[in-house]
Amino acid sequence: MNKIVMNVGMLFFFLSIIFFSQMNLSLVDVLIRSFAIFLFLTSMLGVLAIVFIRSINKKTFEKGNELSENLSGK
């Protein structure tokens, strides 16, 4: 999952470099803005991935408990 988040972040980093360079900004401004977008997007996607994985694990745990209760006959 970390590789996916990093690859999506890198994709948007390079797309933002292309976008900002079309606006005739200086190279330093382009890199700073693109890096800021990369950091923000990567951190947000990382948090979203953690929440998503935890919710899946919680559902799986609840379903496993439900199945074990049904099999034990209680």
Main-chain dihedrals φ then ψ at residue 54, nearest 5 degrees: -65, -40
Averaged pLDDT, 27-45? 96
Specify the higher pLDDT residue, 16 or 1: 16
Quick one: pLDDT at residue 74?
Answer: 57
Pair of tokens at residue 28? 């330093």
Q: What is the pTM of this model?
A: 0.76
* Count of CB atoms situated within 10 Å of the CB of 51: 10
Quick one: pLDDT at residue 20?
Answer: 94
Averaged pLDDT, 34-58? 94
Q: Where are the domains of the chain?
A: 2-72
Check whether 71 has a pLDDT greater than 80. Answer: no
